[in-house]
Amino acid sequence: MRILVLSRKRTLYSTRRLREEGHRRRHVVDVADPLKCVLLMSGGEPSILVGGRRLARPDVVLPRIGTAGTEYSIAVVHHFELMGIPVVNGHEAIARAKNKLDCLQRLAARGIPVPDTLMSRYPRDLDRLMKLLGGPPVIMKLLRGTQGTGVIYAESQPSVESMLETIWSLGEDILVQRFIAESKGRDVRALVIGGKVRAAMRRIGPEGEFRSNIHRGGKGEPVKLPPSYVRIAIRAAAAVGLGLAGVDILESSAGPVVVEVNASPGFEGLEEATKKNVAGMFLDAAVATARRGRR
């Protein structure tokens, strides 16, 4: 099978592992930088050029969309869909996952527990709003951010106020969220593929850090998820419409709460922590997607 991995760099761990595992399984694995894909609308059908040449038609596309050029990359995924090529995670679901507000709205509407969160453009009644969230302290989050950037710990009401002023003056919005203190810089990352949790780890942030992201020095350890966590992870991925997702769950005293659903989860930390062949799971998902698309 011919699998196209959309990724900014072939040297990234996950991209390297996908190629390695793909070759072992006797697939042809191409890697294309989405930002180097030229989207052509001409001759009555969409096509894609790379390096001035028409791209060999893959059986399936496996998008790995990071932070740089996200919107363009999503348009590239859309183009492949319009060309009738099956993709692991559609462009609409990826766009949804990239927006923390959209994600939380959908999760909350489906009764999936999330930390109490609010968004406002109105500077008054802040003390009452803080109380709704059990703060200060509270967590503030830019709508688009990843690997822990754009996630802020605000200690006091004046710091929340100055943060809001700053963000609003830039024409941006920001979420204000209950600080789940008892999770103590730890969280659970569950990998959901095809409606099943295939791997999970607990991530533990470095001393003094409330964020547990692996890219911020968090360490993963294998974890056996209780059934309530498994159910919530599966429902969260489905709520956002992702066939493959990394779901971040905090262990709050009231039970599991979902903070985020990732459409292109990195898996270096997950392979290391669980000793599972996560790259192989991604490829199996791509093959299944291609077969479904053919039918």
146 binds ligand ADP (CB under 6 A): yes
Give strand ranges (E) for the chain: 2-6, 28-32, 37-42, 45-50, 53-54, 60-63, 117-119, 138-142, 151-154, 174-178, 186-193, 196-204, 219-222, 244-252, 255-262
Number of residues that bind ligand ADP (CB under 6 A): 22
Q: According to CB under 5 A, which residues from 223 to 282 bind Mg ion?
A: 248, 260
CA distances, 210 to each of 186, 216, 227 (Å): 7, 10, 26
| Distance of alpha carbon 224 from alpha carbon 87, whole angstroms | 30
21 binds Mg ion (CB under 5 A): no
- Angle in degrees, CA 5, 54, 98, rounded to 5: 35
The interface partner of residue 179, options being ligand ADP, Mg ion, none and the CB cut-off 5 to 8 Å by kind, is: ligand ADP
112 binds ligand ADP (CB under 6 A): no
Residue from 115, 243, 246, 266 that binds ligand ADP (CB under 6 A)? 115
Residue from 139, 236, 270, 283 that binds ligand ADP (CB under 6 A)? 139
The interface partner of residue 120, options being Mg ion, ligand ADP, none and the CB cut-off 5 to 8 Å by kind, is: none
134 binds ligand ADP (CB under 6 A): no
Q: Which residues would be at the binding site for ligand ADP (CB under 6 A)?
A: 115, 139, 141, 145-148, 151, 177-180, 183, 187, 210-213, 248, 250, 259-260
Q: Which residues would be at the binding site for Mg ion (CB under 5 A)?
A: 248, 260
